[in-house]
Amino acid sequence: DTGVSQDPRHKITKRGQNVTFRCDPISEHNRLYWYRQTLGQGPEFLTYFQNEAQLEKSRLLSDRFSAERPKGSFSTLEIQRTEQGDSAMYLCASSSGQVSPGELFFGEGSRLTVL
């Protein structure tokens, strides 16, 4: 069973460095989502792709953040000039759009620590 996979699982970086996370969704899923979760909170929506098109971006996604899904399969989330406030778990999820609405399949997340 191939679920949503994310890489790396953990990343520790110094403030000001750039980081990139990768997400491989479930193969037949055309929708891909990025969420961010900080300690003690539920996940917050960042952005959403349908195939290769990025259809919505949250206001949480500042200009230091960029997400791509160039071939409609895997996606990358890059954070430039990281700040300590970027420390969080970055969750990727996918859905087919054919199942009941709102049912997302999440990966295990990429935990970012900015020192």
Partner 1 sequence: TQLLEQSPQFLSIQEGENLTVYCNSSSVFSSLQWYRQEPGEGPVLLVTVVTGGEVKKLKRLTFQFGDARKDSSLHITAAQPGDTGLYLCAGDTNAGGTSYGKLTFGQGTILTVHP
Footprint on this chain of partner 1 (rule: CB under 8 A): 4, 31, 33, 40-45, 48, 50, 55-56, 91, 93, 95, 97, 100-109, 111
Residues 6+ apart with CB under 8 A from 50: 30, 31, 97
From the CB of 95, what's the least distance to partner 1, in Å?
Answer: 5
Q: Which is nearer to partner 1, 82 or 107 (CB)?
A: 107
Q: Which is nearer to partner 1, 72 or 80 (CB)?
A: 72
d(CA 57, CA 45) in angstroms, rounded, equals 8
From the CB of 16, what's the least distance to partner 1, in Å?
Answer: 26
From the CB of 85, what's the least distance to partner 1, in Å?
Answer: 18
d(CA 80, CA 114) in angstroms, rounded, equals 12
From the CB of 18, what's the least distance to partner 1, in Å?
Answer: 24
Q: Which is nearer to partner 1, 88 or 91 (CB)?
A: 91
Check: CB of residue 36 under 8 Å from CB of residue 112.
no
- Please choose, from the candidates 100, 115, 109, the residue with its C-alpha nearest in 3D space to the C-alpha of residue 12: 115
Residue 48: what residue type?
Y
What is the token pair recorded at 20? Answer: 């990139």
Q: Which is nearer to partner 1, 52 or 80 (CB)?
A: 52
